[in-house]
Structure formats: C-alpha cells, structure tokens
Amino acid sequence: MMSGLRDAATFINGHPKSGTSLIMTLLDSHPQLVVYPEETGFFRRFAWRTVDVSLEDRFQLAEELLIHIFQWDSKNPHPSQAKFRDRDYRDVPFEEVKNLYYQHLNSLGWTHPNILTAAILAFGESSGQLNSNIKRWVEKTPHNEHHADKIFNWWPEARCIHIVRDPRDNYASYRRKHPEWGPEYFANSWRKSIHRGWANQARYGSQQYLIIRYEDLVLDLESTLVVVRDFLGIRDDPMLRQPTRNGRPWAGNSMFSERFEGVSERPVGRYRQVLDPEIVRRLEVALFLEMRRLNYPLEKPVSPLAWFIWMGYRTRWGLNHILRGLSRKGNGHSRREQT
C-alpha cells in the first residue's frame, strides 16, 4: 500500500486567499484521503534548500520545515507557530511522526519527492488515518501552480485542483494581509496564477489538472463536489460537506474575522462593500480579459483608452521588475521567492 500511495499525490493550487483552504478542509475528513493539515511550502521554501546537501541535513530540514507543525500547542505555543497560535496538534505525537517519517523515507528512498510523501504518510499513520481504503494524499500550498513541472515529473500520477476566485473579492481579502499591495500589483500576481493554471491544464490535460471557481464551490456545492469526486476517483461521503482541519470542525479562514458553520456564501461579492469603486475599476481594467473568460461580470465596460493606459503601466512595471531582478543578481542576492 505504501509504495502505491507514493505517487498518489494531490496538490491544491491557486492564488492566496482564493479558497485553497476551503477545498482542503472539505477534503480533510474524507475516508479515502490523507490530507496534510498545514501548508508545507515544499517547492518555495524547502526543496531548493536540499540541493547538494547530505541525507542527514535533508532530514534535519524536514524536521524544521515540514513536520515541525506537530509540536504546535495552543496552550503552550511553540516558537514556530507565532502566526498560528490557535493551532493545536497535541494529539499527533511529534516524536512518533519523526520516527515514522524516517522509516518511510528509508523505505521509499531519499529523493526529493519522497521527502514530502514520507512526511504526509508519517502524519497519516500517526493520526490513525492510513489504511487500505486510502487512495490519495493531499497537500495545499498557494502558488503550487507555478511548480507543476516538478509535480508531474516527480509524481507522474499526480492530480492538481486549482481554485480561482473573482479577483475583486480575492483582492478585498488579500489586501488585509498585505495592505502594501496595490490593485495593479495584485492584478499581475493574480493573472500569473490563472494563466499558469490554464497552461498547466493545456499541457497535462483536464484528467490531471482541474480548475474550479470559488463561487461555484460555495454557490453550487453539490455539483462542484461531483466534479471533484470524479476527478479524484473517490466516493461520496457526508464529510465532504463539513469543513475540518485534522478532523476538527473548521470555521473558516476569513480575513474579516468571520466564523462560519459549513460552507458560506457570504464572502461572494463582498468587494462591493469593502472596496472603493475606483479600486474595483482598476482591477477590472487590468483583468477584464481573464474575468470575461471566467464569466465574472464587470461593473462597467472597459474602454479602449483605459485598456491602453493599463498596458503601458504593465509594460513599465514588467521592465522595472526585470531590472530589479538583474540588480539583485548582480549584487549576489538570492532571487528565491519569499513568502
């Protein structure tokens, strides 16, 4: 069973605050899945650090960056959970996970993909989820879409679920976390995410790369769950309708401090209450082509003049971004993506 699960990977992709946590928590308690309860940041924060390092150093990095979450304690917070003081994994013994991780890694082999696979299988076994019914394991980290080449090279049988959200609502939520992001800067990031998703789907096929809208998930849950179940090859189960994290009820990841029971429609269209109309306008001008393709209606039509002004800004921004990157490289600074 373990060797069969090695390649049965499922990755949840999408822009931050687009609904990646929601789809993860809906899958969390399904009896045929093992869902890792936190983002690993495997491609952006971990994998590149293990290049040309010893096996012992790889294991140490995994302990620090992958399985460290099982030291998190809401009553006595671990230093690594500074931003997640409400998380609690006391029911998943860290030392047991570490020992099982080492065993799985030795069994599977000390390769880059197995470093992640072993961590998830160790969690699944320690938490009592790993059994003969399990068909796939699941990892969620926003921006996974930018690493699809590695995903499908390292796990040829992988499946990716890419969730996309109306950029106006996505920005309304995301700017509370990053107020320094203006609408144009966000638009560039959001565009890169969905274009990468479309490119991945075209390259790897809809049988391995699924794109769903957040709005369809919350407004038409049953129909969307049918699509997701068929895509993953799992059966229907009542737990698909109750979000959980590590088996516990999950009340949402809202940047507006809201708590939900189940799946809520309230976040849809919230931008109308929290964004200035001028900001909405700037987002629509920047992204109207993508919004039209995704069937997100505009508040107002976009004029050719507004479009050409935006394209001029986008060109200047792109050139400045390239020049800054070359400057950092020339100064010996790392160009690794930061979180």
DSSP per-residue string spanning 7-35:
T-EEEEE-STTSSHHHHHHHHTT-TTEEE
Strands 136-140 and 33-35: parallel
- Could you identify the residue written with the tokens 């082509």? 289
54-87 confidence digits (pLDDT tens) = 777 777 888 888 899 999 988 888 888 887 888 8
Give the residue-averaged pLDDT of 210-234.
98
* 175 domain-assigned: yes
* 244 domain-assigned: yes
* 306 domain-assigned: no
Comparison of pLDDT for 72 and 232, the residue scoring more = 232
Q: What are phi and psi of 211, to 5 degrees?
A: -115, 125
Confidence at 324, pLDDT banded by 50, 70, 90: low
- Name 61's Cβ contacts closer than 8 Å, sequence gap at least 6: 46, 49, 50, 53
* 252 domain-assigned: yes
Q: Are 329 and 323 in contact (CB under 8 A)?
A: no
Strands 159-164 and 209-213: parallel
Tokens of 278: 């001028």
Is pLDDT of 216 > 90? yes
Is pLDDT of 331 > 90? no
Q: Are 48 and 105 in contact (CB under 8 A)?
A: no
Domain range for residue 91?
A: 2-270
286: left (phi over 0), alpha (psi -120 to 50) or beta: alpha
* 303 domain-assigned: no
* Number of domains comprising the chain: 1
Q: At what angle do helices 167-177 and 277-293 cross, to 10 degrees?
A: 130
* CATH number, residue 23: 3.40.50
The pLDDT value given to residue 75: 87
155-205 confidence digits (pLDDT tens) = 999 999 999 999 999 999 999 989 999 999 999 999 999 999 999 999 999
The pLDDT value given to residue 57: 79
The pLDDT value given to residue 156: 96
* 218 domain-assigned: yes
Comparison of pLDDT for 47 and 278, the residue scoring more = 278
* 266 domain-assigned: yes
* 138 domain-assigned: yes
**Among 267, 50, 236, residue whose Cα is nearest residue 166:** 267
Mean residue pLDDT across the chain: 87
The pLDDT value given to residue 87: 86
Confidence at 147, pLDDT banded by 50, 70, 90: very high
